[in-house]
Amino acid sequence: MKPQLNETHDASLRSWVASANTGNTDFPLQNLPYGVFRRAGSDEQFRLGVAIGDQILDLAAARVAGIFSALENKEFDKAILGDKLNSLMSLAPAVWSQLRLALSRALRLGASAQAALQSCLLAQSEAEYALPAQIGDYTDFYTSIHHATAIGKLLRPDNPLLPNYKWVPIGYHGRSSSIAVSGQEFRRPLGQTMPPGASAPVFGPAKRMDYEMEIGIFIGNGNALGDAIPMQEAEQHVFGLCLLNDWSARDMQGWEYQPLGPFLAKNFASTISPWVVTIEALAPYRSAWSRDAADPQPLPYLESSDLRDSGAFDIALEVLLQTAAMRSSGTPPQRLSLSNFRHSYWTVSQLLTHHTVNGCNLRAGDLLGSGTQSGPQPEEAGSLMELTQGGKKTITLANGEQRLYLEDGDSIVMRGWASKDGAARIGFGEVLGTLLPARSE
Amino acid sequence: MKPQLNETHDASLRSWVASANTGNTDFPLQNLPYGVFRRAGSDEQFRLGVAIGDQILDLAAARVAGIFSALENKEFDKAILGDKLNSLMSLAPAVWSQLRLALSRALRLGASAQAALQSCLLAQSEAEYALPAQIGDYTDFYTSIHHATAIGKLLRPDNPLLPNYKWVPIGYHGRSSSIAVSGQEFRRPLGQTMPPGASAPVFGPAKRMDYEMEIGIFIGNGNALGDAIPMQEAEQHVFGLCLLNDWSARDMQGWEYQPLGPFLAKNFASTISPWVVTIEALAPYRSAWSRDAADPQPLPYLESSDLRDSGAFDIALEVLLQTAAMRSSGTPPQRLSLSNFRHSYWTVSQLLTHHTVNGCNLRAGDLLGSGTQSGPQPEEAGSLMELTQGGKKTITLANGEQRLYLEDGDSIVMRGWASKDGAARIGFGEVLGTLLPARSE
């Protein structure tokens, strides 16, 4: 049961918010992603909003304007009036769909609600954002076989792709406390590393700072402890997707990760985009599941009738770097790579189903990371470790600067979008994060 | 700066709650652990309580009785009137200490508050408990070198203790959503395992169900993202300790855990004791840090002046099994092992300091697990995998039943206590959990 195409996806729809109709905005009327925002610099409570063109529609204000009257009840009102998306996420998918339809109709060119809603808009340029949800648990997967193989070659040259990879959607638990919304600035972490050939580890700032380009998956209504979510129901439990930068300290990771997995190499910061694009908005951009014919068939619990045709999502994923020198000279960020979520070896449904097959409970607002989304070509790699072949192949930027790993003051911007003939182009906005110098020891 | 011995630790103190003075209760006047409780079977809001003998003192009611008048302010009142310990945990250690002193004085034999407090008690036999705190993030460490070596021998016979073990307090993130309070019943998890010699994994109920005897460490006031907690301040950020059973499915763990660590093998259930014993209550039971002379000195950030003398805690840890047959015949649980937290290779302070050295932020109510606390002797092992040498050596129980791993209907009880000449014996109560049959596939 996946969201179906309906009138909200009609590519010909135009909004009375003119900036939504430019063709190159991330937020046309067909998108309608959710976030939480307030006027920048204010101490107002954060409020729920929907991005439309270069504006944000304030949902609490829109409720007063009466556009959700058919939906209003105690639970819905609580969801709309909160300062996080969790309550909205925990409502039934049918309610999400009705809300989307109401928003689509109210924001259309010629809508009678225009007069009442005009005052419910805030320009995105005047807004600041918070984490869209209180994230209870954060799980990070490892769904790009191209990334897993490339990283595996660097960490275990004799054994790059482990025997479980093609059977198990490999994942591990991450840290929720250090996840922040786009704009996060964080210090280069200090920690232990083991220099090549040394007999004892050293302590100091990480030297091999990296980003990871991922899709974040926000859980909607969850499951009770002990229950599982089968494949055919999995997407009913997904509220939407965002962009996720899972910052990594590769030198710390290499020393600490055995046998229990990455820990301090990852948990100092993770950054997500402010807007959550709903699964329903992504319905036009389904894609075939990416598998080689020689790959094993998944075990039955990871199978579904529509897996091969439309299990994946076609979402372009771009990584850009802006160094401190570029920022001060007004040079825009430069692209480092372009990949696509459709290359993922495991689908969103498979991640939810696998995560819960043992009875583990997911809760509204929990975040799953897709793992770094590297494509099959080397230039589609979603991390510097891959692009520089483990810090061996220098990247020379247009302004002459060079990089193997991130340097202090570097900002990474990630963008994502979906487009297709006959459908609107919709985007995820961006996620921006900046590496600051290490704390003095 | 560790809590010092003071009048609340005086072994000669007696309470007007007679059951606190028996000498074998877990909860004499010198303990005063915190939890959240309500009348069993009621739908009352959970309230904060302190265990005293076989009773619980209701803190909100005790506040009305006036025993905290010197402490009352907006933050303190919020903490006392909540339904979780998080707000209390986030107060300053000096406030925790003042609260303990006020409770100690009010509950002493001859206290003028006795008349007013008498009606603020509920018998523990009439109470039910909830998780003491909202646990934001759960981190599990691996601090027993005896456990790490024994498990390592089974998983990697040629390489049991990895090179990082004696340098890095190895830890990983666990799942907070599936942590429940003592009494948890959970289904045997379903999942993938790879049978020996097979060419493809199979799906079904886990066959090698195990427990792990751990200490849980509740974070008090946390640290801001980017800041670190140095060794000498670490215990000021610890609210207290509890018992933790980190249930494990060994056959699933063996197949899934590389390269990112345990995931579904652990996240289906974890159970903690309802009572949190404060760090101050544990002051009399400090112990020397357990290291071999040949072991490397820790890196400077993991050093402190009192590490070797009193870095550890002397806490006895007991695991008992009650099978379904034992339960129906009224046979009490049978001891499987007895170990001690003093054998831990890394101290509580080292865990906090290591966790935050990279700037990772801890929050009030976060839980750290110590990892399985196995002692140096085989019979001190904190898991069945160790006791049965990987499922090869059968355990025969007193009633003739045999075990390699847990069977459906088995209950595991864990207990912990500290005692010392010249100090009272204080205990942690118990943590009980029961394995139910797997969900039908």
Dist CA B363 CA A420 (whole Å): 44
Is A267 in contact with B173 (Cβ distance < 8 A)?
Answer: yes
Torsion of CA A342, A344, A348, A352, to 10 degrees: 180
pLDDT of B9 > 80? The answer is yes
The answer to whether the bond into A259 is cis (omega within 30° of 0) is yes
pLDDT of B1 > 80? The answer is no
Q: What is the pLDDT of residues B423-436, one digit of tens each?
A: 999 999 999 999 99
Dist CA A270 CA A433 (whole Å): 9
Where do the H-state alpha helices sit in B329-390?
Answer: 348-356, 384-387
Minimal CA–CA distance to B187: which of A357, A223, A355, A226? A226
Burial B138-155 (b: 16+ CB within 10 A, else e): bbbbbbbbbbbebbbbbb
Residue numbers in the known binding site of B for Ca(2+) are 140, 212, 214, 246
In sign, the C-alpha dihedral spanning B348, B354, B359, B365 is negative
Question: B7-130 in CATH: which number?
Answer: 2.30.30.230
Q: What is the pLDDT of residues B257-296, one digit of tens each?
A: 999 999 999 999 999 999 999 999 999 999 999 888 899 9
Q: Round the average pLDDT of chain A to a whole number and report it.
A: 97
Interchain contact A400–B (C-beta under 8 A): no
Pairing of strands B286-287, B277-278: unpaired
pLDDT at B158: 86
Q: What is the pLDDT of residues B79-121, one digit of tens each?
A: 999 999 999 999 999 999 999 999 999 999 999 999 999 999 9
- Is the ipTM higher than 0.90? The answer is yes
Q: Based on the number of CB atoms within 10 Å of its own CB, is A400 exposed (0-12), middle (13-18) or buried (19 or more)?
A: exposed
Dist CA B347 CA B5 (whole Å): 20
Q: Round the average pLDDT of chain B to a whole number and report it.
A: 97
Residue A420 annotated as part of some ligand binding site: no
Quick check: B397 and B334 in contact, CB under 8 A?
A: yes
Interchain contact B224–A (C-beta under 8 A): no
Confidence of residue A291 (pLDDT cuts 50, 70, 90): confident
Is B192 in contact with A259 (Cβ distance < 8 A)?
Answer: no
Dist CA A317 CA A245 (whole Å): 11
Chain A closest-CA separation from residue B237 CA (Å): 16
Is B168 in contact with A255 (Cβ distance < 8 A)?
Answer: yes
Question: B138-436 in CATH: which number?
Answer: 3.90.850.10
Domain extents in chain A: 7-130, 138-436
Residue numbers in the known binding site of B are 140, 142, 156, 212, 214, 246, 253, 257, 266, 270, 372
Q: Contacts of residue A361 in chain B, CB cutoff 8 Å?
A: 177-178
Q: What is the pLDDT of residues A363-400, one digit of tens each?
A: 999 999 999 999 999 999 999 999 999 999 999 999 99
pLDDT of B239 > 90? The answer is yes
Considering A9, A146, A147, A354, which one is annotated as catalytic? A147
Interchain contact A171–B (C-beta under 8 A): yes
Residue A212 annotated as part of some ligand binding site: yes
pLDDT at A1: 67
Is B177 in contact with A137 (Cβ distance < 8 A)?
Answer: yes
Pairing of strands A367-369, A138-141: parallel
**What is the pLDDT averaged over residues B345-363?**
98
Q: How many of the other CB atoms lie within 10 Å of CB of A239?
A: 29
A147 is an active site residue: yes
Quick check: A5 and A18 in contact, CB under 8 A?
A: no
Which tokens hold the place of B432? 């009980």
Q: What is the pLDDT of residues A205-264, one digit of tens each?
A: 999 999 999 999 999 999 999 999 999 999 999 999 999 999 999 999 999 999 999 999
Chain A closest-CA separation from residue B215 CA (Å): 18
Give me the residue from A168, A261, A360 closest to B268, CB to CB.
A360
* Residue A364: closest C-alpha in chain B: B177
Q: Contacts of residue B359 in chain A, CB cutoff 8 Å?
A: 178, 186-187, 189-190, 268-269, 439
Minimal CA–CA distance to A290: which of A344, A369, A254? A344
Residue A253 annotated as part of some ligand binding site: yes
* Residue A267: closest C-alpha in chain B: B360
CA separation, residue B156 to residues A253, B151, B265, B384 (Å): 20, 8, 18, 18
Interchain contact A260–B (C-beta under 8 A): yes
pLDDT at B155: 79
Torsion of CA A205, A209, A214, A220, to 10 degrees: 10
Long-range contact pairs involving B94-99 (C-beta distance under 8 Å, separation at least 24): B95/B71, B96/B220, B96/B239, B96/B278, B96/B280, B97/B3, B97/B6, B97/B280, B98/B70, B98/B71, B99/B68, B99/B71
Where do the H-state alpha helices sit in B156-305?
Answer: 250-256
Rg (CA), chain A: 22
Quick check: B73 and B203 in contact, CB under 8 A?
A: no
